Amino acid sequence: MCGIVGYAGARDALPVLSDGLKNLEYRGYDSAGVALCEGGAPTVYKTVGEVDDLRAVLPDASEATVGVGHTRWSTHGEPTDANAHPHTDCTGDVAVVHNGIIDNYDDLKAELEADGHAFASETDTEVVPHLVEAELADGASPADAFAAAVARIEGSFALAMVVDGTDAIYLARQDSPLCVGHGDGETFVGSDVTAFLEHAREVTYLENGDVAVVTADELVVEHDGERVERPVEQVEWEADAAEKGGYEHYMLKEIHEQPRALRQTLSGRIDALEGEVDLDVDLPREYLNSLEEVQFVACGTSYHAGLYAANLVEEHADVRATVHVASEYQFRGGRDPWRTLVVAVTQSGETAETLAALREADRTGARTLAVTNVVGSSVTRLADENLYIRAGPEIGVAATKTFVSQVTSLALLAVHVGRERDELTPTEASDLLEDARGLPGAVQRVLDADAQVRAVAEAYADSDAFFFIGRALGHSVALESALKLKEISYDHAEGFPAGELKHGPLALVTDDTPVVAVLTGGARAAETVNSVKEVESRGAPVVGLCTDGIGEKFVDDALAVPDLGAMSPLVANVYAQLFAYHVANLKGRAIDKPRNLAKSVTVE
Ligand code: F6R
């Protein structure tokens, strides 16, 4: 989730773009660039690094009154100068910035290369300027050329383009936000309003499928080839609130971003009809068939993602799967490196213990795979193969969207390994992938029930000890839910396999210890109901995260989880995120920066 800024007006575009990029820095970035229209082909300045690094290569002023800028969060191609946006065509007349992922870029790139186009980057984005170039060469106007290029790309995108000889910015939006700010004789473009909030507060938000042209004083939007009007809204937020998209905390914003993050995670990777997965990792079929063990190494929330994944791998790929707290990995023996795949799960890619475990695995000769959110992070340089979860930058210390994207990426890995080992039929794989495909919608339905979660949180927020129980996939979600609550509310919260309660923890259960039970598909809900009865008979109130028909009548508060088979417990986890958030917020905690914790733990 990169950042886009654009300007068309009468003043020098350069400082407006440069300040806009600075405002977008909070989103995270690894490179930045601008394209300035100074009369003639756009002049492009770009560099890997921070906006200040870009500023070091920018001139002090420019003649340009139109331009676009970009901060990049890599999904295709390492963070390098060449991969930074804007991207241009062969002539240099067209410059494009892009947020999102173009699913069919491989095919388009092959076609364009066969037609003689030379590519300068490893990005998916670069197909767009070359597609526009081809249309322009055939005599199309810039607007038609842009619309024709947009019609050929699949995936999620917010695009902004400038072209030699025009004073317009060409925009398109599909599943990635883009808005236009209306000033007095000048127009601003942003992937969110923070890009231009100090200049314009009257804003038009483009909708999915919109293609638009903006000039200094006009916005023309088309949808399905027809001109449409989009409303102009007044933005009341101050900059700090705008960075959080109007949410009170980054954590809440990131919880609400999950449907989009999940779409990005899945984008271009699954063919649910055929039961096929394309993860772009080099794990040959013979190697996967020789495997005797998959070891997941990780810390904290990522460890819980590993637990979820191990369950899926064992069930669907019929290979032993073990999960290791990374800091303990070096103390374990009994490895056969030649038949072991070691999977390091780390959203930051920088966690010292996970890196140390991966080095240890590498030393023994095992093949290694990193599952991470950060392209170019330390783990990607250590591992043999990388699988990016594409959740976009996460600012809140408590991991939310990265957890769901980790689990989803790992579920795709389980399907891939299962298919290659012939343990999953295409039909079985197809069913699992359909469930994965349903995730963004199912998570959205949970988010839509936020008021209900808040009411439940209000009922129990005075308690200072909570238990979470679940079985099978629900066990990892119980652990993750307890971690989320404890780290941001500072309450005592523990997750247990439901069957373990009676072996000790039941002694702690009273009428003041709410119990949250995962009662979904994929989580052995019928058996967990027995544990629910055990705690209820000790007076504990029970909140059930329930798939239709399982468990509602046994709990005090039921939150409905859409049925998505093995993905249902992951959807239930979103309720637990909201529950943790509201309990912590009611207690007035520092939710985005809980005491004693850091986003990235780079010391052992
Ligand atoms: C909890 C949390 C931490 C991290 C852990 C590992 O919300 O964020 O438990 O999961 O520090 O971090 P990564 O995934 O960056 O290796």
pLDDT in tens, 100-157: 889 999 999 999 999 999 999 999 999 999 999 999 999 999 999 999 999 999 998 9
Q: What is the DSSP letter of 295?
A: E
Dihedral sign for Cα atoms in the order 527, 528, 529, 533: positive
600 CA to middle of ligand 1, Å? 7
Per the model's pLDDT, the better-predicted residue between 397 and 188 turns out to be: 188
* For residues 23-29, average pLDDT: 78
Residue closest by Cα to atom 6 of ligand 1: 299
Average pLDDT in the chain? 94
- For 53-62, write each residue's pLDDT tens digit: 999 999 999 9
Question: Is any ligand 1 atom within 6 A of the Cβ of residue 378?
Answer: no
Give the confidence band of 581 by pLDDT, cuts at 50, 70, 90: very high
Give the confidence band of 603 by pLDDT, cuts at 50, 70, 90: low
Give the confidence band of 40 by pLDDT, cuts at 50, 70, 90: confident
Cα separation of 363 and 391, whole Å?
Answer: 30
> Is 600 a residue whose pLDDT tops 70?
no
Domains of the chain: 3-243 (3.60.20.10), 252-437 (3.40.50.10490), 450-586 (3.40.50.10490)
In three-state form (DSSP H/G/I as H, E/B as E, the rest C), the secondary structure along 384-424 is CEEEECCCCCCCCCCCCHHHHHHHHHHHHHHHHHHHHCCCC
Per the model's pLDDT, the better-predicted residue between 532 and 338 turns out to be: 532
Give the confidence band of 335 by pLDDT, cuts at 50, 70, 90: low
Residues β-bridged to residue 175: 157
pLDDT of residue 77: 78
Give the confidence band of 373 by pLDDT, cuts at 50, 70, 90: very high
Candidate of 601, 603, 604 to mutate for ligand 1, largest count of ligand atoms within 8 Å of Cβ: 601
Question: Is any ligand 1 atom within 6 A of the Cβ of residue 358?
Answer: no
Cα separation of 90 and 105, whole Å?
Answer: 17
Q: Which residue has the tokens 């009922």?
A: 459
Dihedral sign for Cα atoms in the order 458, 461, 463, 466: positive
* Contact present, 331 and 429 (Cβ < 8 Å): no
> Is 395 a residue whose pLDDT tops 90?
no
* Contact present, 534 and 513 (Cβ < 8 Å): no
237: left (phi over 0), alpha (psi -120 to 50) or beta: beta
The predicted model scores a pTM of 0.86
Percent of the chain past pLDDT 90, that is, above it, reads: 83
Neighbours of 262 (CB within 10 A): 28
- For 470-491, write each residue's pLDDT tens digit: 999 999 999 999 999 999 999 9
37 given a catalytic annotation: no
Q: Which amino acid is present at 433?
A: L
> Is 298 a residue whose pLDDT tops 70?
yes
Give the confidence band of 39 by pLDDT, cuts at 50, 70, 90: confident
Question: Is any ligand 1 atom within 6 A of the Cβ of residue 399?
Answer: yes
pLDDT of residue 30: 85
* For residues 280-285, average pLDDT: 94
Q: What is the DSSP letter of 260?
A: H
Give the confidence band of 377 by pLDDT, cuts at 50, 70, 90: confident
> Phi, psi at residue 516, to the nearest 5°?
-105, 125
Q: Per-residue b/e over 70-85, b at no fewer than 16 CB within 10 Å?
A: bbbbbbbbebbebbbb
- For 404-426, write each residue's pLDDT tens digit: 999 999 999 999 999 999 999 99
CB within 8 Å of 347: residues ≥ 6 apart: 301, 302, 372, 373, 374, 389, 391, 394, 399, 402, 403, 406
3-class state of residue 80 by DSSP: coil
Give the confidence band of 78 by pLDDT, cuts at 50, 70, 90: confident
Question: Is any ligand 1 atom within 6 A of the Cβ of residue 520?
Answer: no
Would strands 66-72 and 31-37 be described as parallel, antiparallel, or unpaired? antiparallel
Dihedral sign for Cα atoms in the order 492, 487, 247, 410: negative
Give the confidence band of 338 by pLDDT, cuts at 50, 70, 90: confident
Nearest Cα neighbor of 412 from 264, 304, 525 is 264
* For residues 516-532, average pLDDT: 93
Radius of gyration (C-alpha) of the chain in whole angstroms:
25
* Contact present, 182 and 193 (Cβ < 8 Å): no
Torsion of CA 107, 109, 110, 112, to 10 degrees: 120
* Contact present, 521 and 491 (Cβ < 8 Å): no
Cα separation of 308 and 297, whole Å?
Answer: 13
370 CA to middle of ligand 1, Å? 15
Give the confidence band of 334 by pLDDT, cuts at 50, 70, 90: low
Cα separation of 476 and 460, whole Å?
Answer: 23
CA atoms within 13 Å, Cβ hemisphere of 560: 8
Residues β-bridged to residue 155: 102
CB within 8 Å of 170: residues ≥ 6 apart: 142, 143, 146, 159, 160, 161, 162, 163, 211, 212, 213
* Contact present, 540 and 534 (Cβ < 8 Å): no
pLDDT of residue 542: 97
CA atoms within 13 Å, Cβ hemisphere of 552: 7
> Is 602 a residue whose pLDDT tops 70?
no
Maximum C-alpha span of the chain: 78
Catalytic residue among 90, 587, 593, 599: 599
Neighbours of 508 (CB within 10 A): 14
* Contact present, 534 and 485 (Cβ < 8 Å): no
Give the confidence band of 451 by pLDDT, cuts at 50, 70, 90: very high
In three-state form (DSSP H/G/I as H, E/B as E, the rest C), the secondary structure along 158-210 is EEEEEECCCCCEEEEEEECCCEEEECCCCEEEECCHHHCCCCCCEEEECCCCE
Which of 208-217, 236-245, 290-299 shows the lowest per-residue confidence on average (mean pLDDT)?
Answer: 236-245
Would strands 210-215 and 43-48 be described as parallel, antiparallel, or unpaired? unpaired
> Is 398 a residue whose pLDDT tops 90?
yes
599 given a catalytic annotation: yes
pLDDT of residue 217: 94
Candidate of 307, 343, 348, 397 to mutate for ligand 1, largest count of ligand atoms within 8 Å of Cβ: 348
Atom of ligand 1 nearest to the CA of 348: 15
> Phi, psi at residue 51, to the nearest 5°?
-60, -35
> Is 28 a residue whose pLDDT tops 70?
no
Cα separation of 520 and 575, whole Å?
Answer: 12
> Phi, psi at residue 453, to the nearest 5°?
-65, -40
Per the model's pLDDT, the better-predicted residue between 76 and 534 turns out to be: 534
Question: Is any ligand 1 atom within 6 A of the Cβ of residue 99?
Answer: no
